[in-house]
Structure 1
Amino acid sequence: MSRPVTFVGLGGGAIQLGLWAYYAHRQGCRVVISEVDRARVAGIRANGNTYAINIAHFDYIQPVTVGPVEVYDPTIPADRVRLLEAVREANEINTAVPSTAVYRKGGIDQLLREGLAGRSAPVLIYASENQIGAAAQLRDLVYPEGAPPHVGFSETVIERMGGPQGDPAFIAAHRLAEITPGCGAALLVEDFDSIVVEKPPFAPELGFSTSFGRFRAVEHIGMYEELKLLGHNAVHFLLGCVGKLKGYTYMSDFNGDPDADLLGLDALILETGGWFRPQYGPAGAEVATDDGFRAWAVQLMRRIVNPHLFDLVDRIIRDPERKIAWHDRIIGTMRRALAAGVVPKRYALGAAALLLLRRAAPDVPRNASWLAGLWGDAADPGERENVITCVEAAGEVLGAWDPSVHPSLHAFARRAGYW
């Protein structure tokens, strides 16, 4: 009987446990996880080297047990030795840590450098930090002089939604399986596996074979990275900020709310699509055609309001300084739209909603000039002025809007002459 191939996951959060390790285990891989949360490590080991996730379908939630897996804490010398051994044997490795800063700060670059030294068999390393260029950044840290031909680094585009739930009453009410018994947290992720990865750069003679054939490998991933950041992430943040003003707890609270389509879907089709389709359509990509883009947008909106996903609004709008940065989701797609001659009025409402939410903090400026300070020298002065003009116009509408009186922001904005 042949020995199973080894998959190593660096980081033990929702993306790693709920996606990569889950599918690696389903493929029969030996699954090895690196995690610095000692309570989580101990919990998985005490649970027979297994953990649980919950998969949100459109009509029910399915608890799933994953394992056996091996889990090690890289800060413990004996565990680090076992991790290095696993890296030396791995066919595929995935990083899924809070940010690319952890590559160096958390010692991931050094762990890979040591573990990969001396091996000649091909290994593919995916970066799942939801940051454009993450894999290239990791490659340059591990191999400053250039990666050898048998070590590949792959960018990823992961549109799968969901995350941790920590409210005991919620976990009990929805009968969620905790990650491990008694840990007080559960992972709830959507039933979605249309993941895009960068095609392995290996020569055929190396004989590399992936365990993630269900994922879509593409030669040029940049288009999909932009669609994720400036489409999926942008509309998620737009609706999250508006939903917070409405008093929503979960993104699924948009079910039955006309703003889900009139703000969310239309933002995707008219404002993201207004620049994305002309830019990428000539290359022949299906998602950049009129019908293909609409199909993608409609499916995304249906997934966002999945009544069994319970994606927390507060999770969507956390870390606002990063998410409203000059090159990030809302402002990034507003800039692209303006350059294409499209006025991004819906995304401007999202940016203005964030400013309105920040008024609860008295030490934060209450108008769009705060954005200019946040963007600093990254912003072209003329382009910056155009974006701020859009945000200020949206802010005038939001400043007069009372969701308890006028539940639909789109309808209120129409009466105010915004459209």
Structure 2
Amino acid sequence: MKALHFGAGNIGRGFIGKLLADSGMQVIFADVNDSVIDLLKSRRSYGVKIVGDSINTVERVTQVTGVNSKDETAIITLFNEVDLVTTAVGPNVLKIVASTFAKALEARIAGGNTKPLNIIACENMVRGTSFLKEQVFTHLNPDYKDKVEQLIGFVDSAVDRIVPPVKPDAEDPLLVTVEEFSEWIVDQTQFKGAIPDIKGMELTDSLMAFVERKLFTLNTGHAVTSYYGKFKGYKFVKESIEDESVKAFVKSVMQESGAVLIKRYGFDPQAHAAYIEKILKRFANPYLVDDVDRVGREPLRKLSYNDRLIKPLRGTIEYGLPNDNLIRAIATALSYRNENDPQALELAKSLAEAGVTQTIKKYTELQDENVIARIAKAYETL
């Protein structure tokens, strides 16, 4: 089998691309980074360093090559040849690649290819593949829409693996470091044709439970560790979480967001408490040096209505659950400053010019005046 994977960065190579290759697939990475693509084409392999309490080893990924994703002719040709398309490009880039996807799907169908094809966006967002599908359909010729619906599966997924940036290795510049833990859960109801047998890919018919478990726990906790750690003067996630006051606060936030999950999806409270402890342990992984500014970047996106801070807060409001720590966490995110992050600069400008109340309303889209006032007060206290 052959897979076309968009995104040859650390996550693409260290997580999804590795799982596909480990399952016996030939993996073609598509990316705009010519140096990375040239290395993939010439070396046909790369190393993945896996680190954790019980492992510290380098595994080789083979059967790989690359193509420049701006080469539409090549991409269109590959769409007609591959058995699976995956992405790990970031939410904003999905909009950019959608037009090429549309042209490639039209060409595949026009050429008489009636074999089902599945597309999985492995992004750090809720229902990322459904979002990609919406973008593709805005570019799609109406004459092809029925056939695309019939033959092309747009499969949503939830992905979880910490892959921090590391200094390139001179001898193996494609080497990427990843944590031992990984989780890739896909919505089995959205596949067209046979579901591929991929090592490490878990099937579910209740994807949103796992999407929100990851969003409300890993993503929420990671962001809060970053914002509170930065507030206390730390540079790295690991040293932030080693501060007992930071760890206690992050844990209390995840307990509040976890109460929403338990109420909404019926998660076992003891099992979820163990999941929270596992997340905290992952943040403290001594082999992963992750900058708080990398994790905290794009604060406006992280403060948006359906993201890792506001969505769990909305859940506590919906179910009448405690949320004092989530309120404080949101206030801490509002205090994030980073001169190299356009969103952090925009946030600071809005706070200075429009004030905290209007800034909260604008970027979070919250309507509850009492909740907004509580966040504003917590921010002013900070």
TM-score by length of 1: 0.78
**CA–CA distance in structure 1, aligned partners of residues 373 and 160 of structure 2:** 31
**CA–CA distance in structure 1, aligned partners of residues 51 and 338 of structure 2:** 35
Residue 153 of structure 2 is matched in structure 1 by 152
Give the aligned CA root-mean-square deviation in angstroms: 2.7
Q: 1:314 to 1:296 in 2, by over 3 A?
A: same
Q: 1:39 to 1:370 in 2, by over 3 A?
A: farther
Counting only pairs closer than 5 Å after superposition, residues 74-85 of structure 1 correspond to structure 2 as: 74-76=69-71, 80-81=73-74, 83-85=75-77
Residue 258 of structure 2 is matched in structure 1 by 273
Q: Say whether residues 1:163 and 2:164 are aligned partners.
A: yes
Q: By how many angstroms is 1:328 displaced?
A: 1.7
Counting only pairs closer than 5 Å after superposition, residues 376-415 of structure 1 correspond to structure 2 as: 378-380=365-367, 383=368, 385-398=369-382
Q: By how many angstroms is 1:219 displaced?
A: 1.1
Equivalent in 315, 321, 328 of residue 342 of structure 1: 321
**CA–CA distance in structure 2, aligned partners of residues 202 and 195 of structure 1:** 15
Q: By how many angstroms is 1:101 displaced?
A: 4.9
Larger radius of gyration between Structure 1 and Structure 2: 1
Q: Is the 8 A contact 1:325 1:374 kept in 2?
A: no
Residue 268 of structure 2 is matched in structure 1 by 289
Q: 1:211 to 1:20 in 2, by over 3 A?
A: farther
Q: Is the 8 A contact 1:159 1:195 kept in 2?
A: yes
Q: 1:298 to 1:34 in 2, by over 3 A?
A: same
Residue 52 of structure 1 is matched in structure 2 by 47
**CA–CA distance in structure 1, aligned partners of residues 107 and 164 of structure 2:** 30
**CA–CA distance in structure 2, aligned partners of residues 74 and 261 of structure 1:** 41
> Percent of aligned pairs with the same residue?
21
Residue 125 of structure 2 is matched in structure 1 by 131
Q: By how many angstroms is 1:104 displaced?
A: 4.1
Q: Is the 8 A contact 1:33 1:70 kept in 2?
A: yes
**CA–CA distance in structure 2, aligned partners of residues 107 and 289 of structure 1:** 43
**CA–CA distance in structure 2, aligned partners of residues 61 and 322 of structure 1:** 34
* 5+ long unaligned stretches in structure 2: 340-344
Equivalent in 116, 137, 140 of residue 108 of structure 2: 116
Q: Say whether residues 1:88 and 2:105 are aligned partners.
A: no
Residue 198 of structure 1 is matched in structure 2 by 187
- What amino acid maps onto 2:226 in structure 1? G
Q: By how many angstroms is 1:199 displaced?
A: 0.5
- Comparing 303-312 and 131-140, the one that deviates more: 131-140
Residue 12 of structure 1 is matched in structure 2 by 8
- What amino acid maps onto 1:58 in structure 2? D
Residue 371 of structure 1 is matched in structure 2 by 359
Residue 206 of structure 2 is matched in structure 1 by 220
TM-score by length of 2: 0.85
Q: By how many angstroms is 1:243 displaced?
A: 0.7
Q: Secondary structure at the match of 2:105?
A: helix
Q: Say whether residues 1:35 and 2:19 are aligned partners.
A: no
- What amino acid maps onto 2:272 in structure 1? F
| Structure number having the greater helix percentage | 2
Residue 257 of structure 1 is matched in structure 2 by 243
Number of matched residues? 364
Q: By how many angstroms is 1:130 displaced?
A: 1.9
Q: Is the 8 A contact 2:116 2:152 kept in 1?
A: yes
Q: Secondary structure at the match of 1:75?
A: coil
Q: Is the 8 A contact 2:226 2:240 kept in 1?
A: no
What CA deviation, in whole Å up to 9, does each residue of 1:60-90 have, x standing for no partner?
Answer: 543333223120013236xx43x33332232
- What amino acid maps onto 1:262 in structure 2? A
Q: 1:359 to 1:87 in 2, by over 3 A?
A: closer
Q: 1:124 to 1:106 in 2, by over 3 A?
A: closer
